[in-house]
A and B are shown apart, each in its own frame.
Chain A
Amino acid sequence: MPVDRAHPATRRLLAALALGLAATVFVPVPGVAAEPEPEVAEAVAADPQLEADAMELSHKLRCLVCQNQSIAESNAPLAVDLRNQVREQLAAGKNKDDVVDYLVERYGDFVLYEPPFKASTLLLWLGPAVLLFGGAGWLAYRLRRRSVEVAADKGLSATDRARARALLDSAGAQETESPESRS
C-alpha cells in the first residue's frame, strides 16, 4: 500500500532535515477528526501492486490507433482492451516479458516504446555512444593540435609577434575586456 509505505519513509526523512533539506510538509502527526470518521472509499483496483505494475508496463506500450500516446494514457477502445489484456495476463501470473512478447507477436515492434535491440536498431542504440566518443575524440584532437600550434607560436620572434598582434587587432579579434576575466 502506498500509504503505508509513505509513513516510515517520511519519518526517515527527518534525518534528511539534518542535512539541511527542509521538508516540513512530510512530517506526519496522527490525525484527530472532529466529525465521525467517513467510511473509506473502495479502490478501483482490487490489487494495488498489480495495478501499479500493469500501469507501469502500459506506459511503455504504444496505442496503435492514437496519434502518439501510450495505452496507459489513451482512452481509445483498443487502448482499453490492451490495458485489460495486460492486467489479466499479469494477474494470471505471467511476467512482464511474456506480456510484451504476446503483444509483439500480434502487433509487431511498433507497440514497444522501447525498441528491441537488433540489427535494424543497432544504429539507434549505439548511435549516441558513437557520437559521444567521436565528439570527445574530435575535441581532444583539436585541442591537442591547438596547443602544438600555440607552442610553435611561442617560438616566434618578438617583432613577429608584435606584427601578428597588430594584424589581429585590426581584424577586430582583440581580446575584449570582459568581467568574467576577473573571476
Chain B
Amino acid sequence: MIPELGHFALILALVLSLVQAVVPLVGAQRNSMALMAVGRPAAQGQFFFILFSYACLTWAFITSDFSVELAATNSHSATPLMYKITGVWGNHEGSLLLWAMSLSLWTVAVTVFSRHLPEAFMARVLGVLGLVSAGFISFTLVTSNPFERLLPGAGEGRDLNPLLQDPGMIIHPPLLYMGYVGFSVAFAFAIAALLSGRLDAAWARWSRPWTTVAWVFLTAGIAVGSGWAYYELGWGGWWFWDPVENASFMPWLLGTALMHSLAVTEKRGAFRSWTVLLAIGAFSLSLLGTFLVRSGVITSVHAFATDPKRGLYILALLVIVIGASLLLYAMRANKLMGGGSFGLVSRETALLGNNVLLTVASASVLLGTLYPLFLDALNLGKISVGPPYFEAVFVPLMTPVVVLMMFGPFLRWKDDDLVAAVRKVAPAFIASVLIGVGVAFAVDHVTWRTVLGLSLAAWVVLASIQLLVGRLKERAGASASSRLRSITASWWGMWLAHLGIGVFIIGVTMVGSLDRHLDVKMKEGQRAELAGYTFVFRGAVEAQGANYDAARGQIELSRDGKVLDMLTPEKRLYWAQGMPMTEASLNIGPFRDVYVSLGEQLDDGAWIVSLYYKPFISWIWMGCLLMALGGIFAAADVRYRRMAARDAAVASGRRVAASA
C-alpha cells in the first residue's frame, strides 16, 4: 500500500510540475499577477509530494519490503540501517528520484530566498524549472518506476553493491546531485532573462550566489567521490578520468567559468551573451552527464544498468531542453551586445581569458570522452581514451589558468598598466620557479611535471600572501582588526578558493612524484619496510560485520622503533552477492598517508599485503575543502543581501504603483 501511495504522490508531483511550468509562464506573458502567483505554491506542493514519494520508497527499503523490486535488488534484511537508507539512491530508479527531489528543493529555495525578484522574472524562472522537473519526473514514471512491484515478492533481497556500503557513499550522491542540479537555477535565470529581455547587471547579481552555491556542492561532491575511490578501491588511486567522472568534471569547469563570467557581467554589463551561453552550457553538461551515465552509450565503472528506451527518453529531453534554449539564445543574443568599457589590460580581461581557457579545457574533456563514440559511429574503429590522454591535454591547458588566476587579482578593474603589474608580481613569480626547481632537487625527483607542479603551487601560495599583505596595507594607520574587518567576505572567498588550488596542486604533485608501493607476502611476525616505516604482521583474525564475514589483518605500523598505529585491513565476503571486497586501512597524517590493503591468502598461510606510502595526499582534499569554503564565503557576502533588500523595496514600490 505504501509503495502505491508513493507512486501516486509522484504522479501528483508531475501534475503540479506541469502546472508550475505552464501557468506562471503564461501569466508572465499576459502580465497577469494571479497566474504568476500560482508558481510558488505549485513548486512548494511539488516538493512536498516528491519528498513524500521519496519517503515511501525509503520506507520499503527500511522495512525490507522485498515485494518492491527495487528494494529486492538493492537491499537485504541484514544490511545496516544506514545503508538501507542510502541504498535508495544506489541504483538508477532511486537516484533519478533523488535527482528530481534535489531539483524541487532548489526550486523551493528560489521561492524562499529570492522573494525580492520582480514577479514576472520569478514566474519565468519557476516556469523553466517546472518544465525541467516535469521532464525528469515523467522520465521516472514512464521508463524507471521505482515502485514497481515484484509478484510474488522475494524472500530475501540481493543487497546493495558492497562497494557502495561505505560512509563516503552516504554523502557523495546527494552533494553531487545538489551541485549538478543546482546549475538548473543559473540556467533558469538565464532563460528567464532571455525571455524577458532583461539581461543586465541585476540579472548577473541575482544569479551569482545561486551559481556559487551549486558550485560549492559540486566541488564537495566530486571531492568526496574521489576520496571514496581512494580508500575503497584498494590501491590508492583518486582520479581515473572515467567517463562518469568526466561527466561531473565538465560542468564543474564550465560552472567555474560561469561564476567568473558573472562577475564581469555584473561589474561591466559586458560579455552578456557569453555569460548566458555559459549558464546554458553548464546545465547542458549536467544533463549530458545524466545521459552518459544512464544510456549505456559509454562503458564506465559507475554506469547504471542500462536500457536503450531510457537513453532515448533522456536524449529527447536533452534535445528539447538544450535545443529550445539555444534557439532562444540565437533569437535574442544580438540584443546582448555592448556594456561598459574596460581596457585591454584589466581584471576583466584576465577573468575572460581564464574563462576561455576553462571552456577549452571543458570542451577538451568532452572531446576525449566522446571521441570513441564518434569513431565508432563513423565506423572508423574502436579506441579507448584514458588517463594518459587527459593528463597530456589537461596539464598544458591548466598551467596558464593557474598563472593567470593569481595574476588577475593584481590587476585593477577597468584599466591597468601591464608593465607596472608585471613588475609587481615578477619577484614572486621568479621565486616560485626557483622554489619549484629547488624542492624537486631536494626530494630527488627532477621531472618536468614535478618542477611544474611545485612551481605553480609555490606561485599560488606566494601570490596569495602578497595579495593579503597588500590588502592589509591599504588602510595605513587603521588598527589591525579594523583592517581585517574591512576585507569583504567575497574577497576572502576568492582568496581561499585560489589558495585551495595551490594546496590541491601540492597534493597532486607530491603524491604523483613520491608515492611508494610494495607488495609483500607476510607471515605472522614478519616485517616489511617502506619509506622509513616498519610494518609488522601480527596475524589475521576472523571478523563478522552485519552482512559480511571478513578476515582482518593486524599490521603494526611503526617508525624509528615507536609504534604509531595498528592497521586493520580487511578482506570481506558479503553474504548476499558472494562478492569479495578489500577494505583498506589507513593511517592518515597531515604530510602523508600510510595505506595498507590485504590481498589473498597463499597456500603456505602467508598473506599478500599491499603497502603504500602516499605523501601529501590529504592536501588534495584539503584543497577542495578550501575551494568549497571560498565558495561559501563568496555566496554569503553581505552585499547580496543588501542589494536584495534594495531590489525588494523597488519591486514593492512598483507593485504599489501598479495597484494604485
Contact = CB atoms under 8 A, between A and B. Distances in A.
Interface of A: 2-3, 5-10, 12-16, 19, 21, 23-26, 28-34, 37-45, 48, 51-52, 59-60, 62, 66-70, 73, 108-115, 120-121, 123-124, 127-128, 131-132, 135-136, 138-139, 142-144, 146-147, 149-150, 153, 168, 171-176, 178-183
A143 B349 contact: yes
Nearest to B522: A41
Contacts of A32: 560-561
Contact of B389 (A113, A153, A168, A182): A113
B268 A138 contact: no
B353 A173 contact: no
Given A44-B520, A136-B356, 20 more contacts: A13-B442, A19-B439, A28-B560, A30-B560, A32-B560, A33-B561, A38-B527, A39-B527, A40-B529, A59-B387, A73-B233, A73-B235, A109-B381, A121-B375, A124-B367, A128-B364, A135-B356, A173-B340, A179-B491, A180-B488
A132 B341 contact: no
17 contacts: A3-B529, A3-B532, A9-B444, A12-B443, A13-B442, A34-B561, A59-B387, A128-B367, A128-B397, A131-B360, A132-B360, A135-B359, A144-B344, A146-B342, A149-B341, A168-B269, A175-B267
Given A73-B233, A114-B388, A139 B534 contact: no
Contacts of B531: 2-3, 6
B166 interface: no
A161 B216 CA distance: 41
Interface stretch (B10-18, B102-110, B195-203): B195-203
A41 B527 contact: yes
A25 B341 contact: no
Contact of A38 (B349, B525, B530): B525
B444 A146 contact: no
Interface string B393-434: 100010000000000010011000000000000000000000
Given A132-B360, A173-B200, A183-B409, A139 B352 contact: yes
Nearest to A14: B442
A150 B17 CA distance: 46
Interface of B: 198, 200-202, 205, 233, 235, 237, 242-243, 263, 266-271, 299-301, 303, 339-344, 349, 352-353, 356-357, 359-360, 363-364, 367-368, 371, 375, 380-389, 392-393, 397, 409, 412-413, 435, 438-439, 441-445, 471, 474, 488, 490-491, 514, 516-523, 525-532, 534, 536-537, 558-561, 589, 591-592, 606, 608-609, 637, 639, 643
Nearest to B363: A131
Given A73-B237, A147-B343, A180-B491, A113 B268 contact: no
Q: 6 closest pairs, A vs B, by CB? A: A113-B386, A114-B388, A179-B488, A41-B526, A150-B341, A128-B364
Contacts of A68: 242-243, 299-301
A16 B363 CA distance: 38
Contact of B520 (A26, A43, A138): A43
B177 to A, nearest CB: 22
B603 to A, nearest CB: 14
B340 A175 contact: yes
Contacts of A2: 516-518, 530-531
A127 B367 contact: yes
A7 to B, nearest CB: 7
B384 A16 contact: no
Nearest to B359: A135
Contact of B384 (A62, A143, A181): A62
B301 A40 contact: no
Report which residue of A128, A142, A150 has the largest number of chain B beta carbons within 10 angstroms of its beta carbon.
A128
Given A32-B561, A135-B356, A70 B386 contact: yes
Given A62-B384, A132-B397, A176 B561 contact: no
Contact of A172 (B202, B271, B444): B202
B389 to A, nearest CB: 6
Contact of B270 (A38, A121, A146): A146
Nearest to B582: A75
A147 B344 contact: yes
Nearest to B607: A41
Contact of B356 (A43, A51, A138, A153): A138
Given A39-B527, A175-B268, A62 B386 contact: yes
Contacts of B444: 5, 8-9, 12
Contacts of B198: 172
Contacts of B445: 9
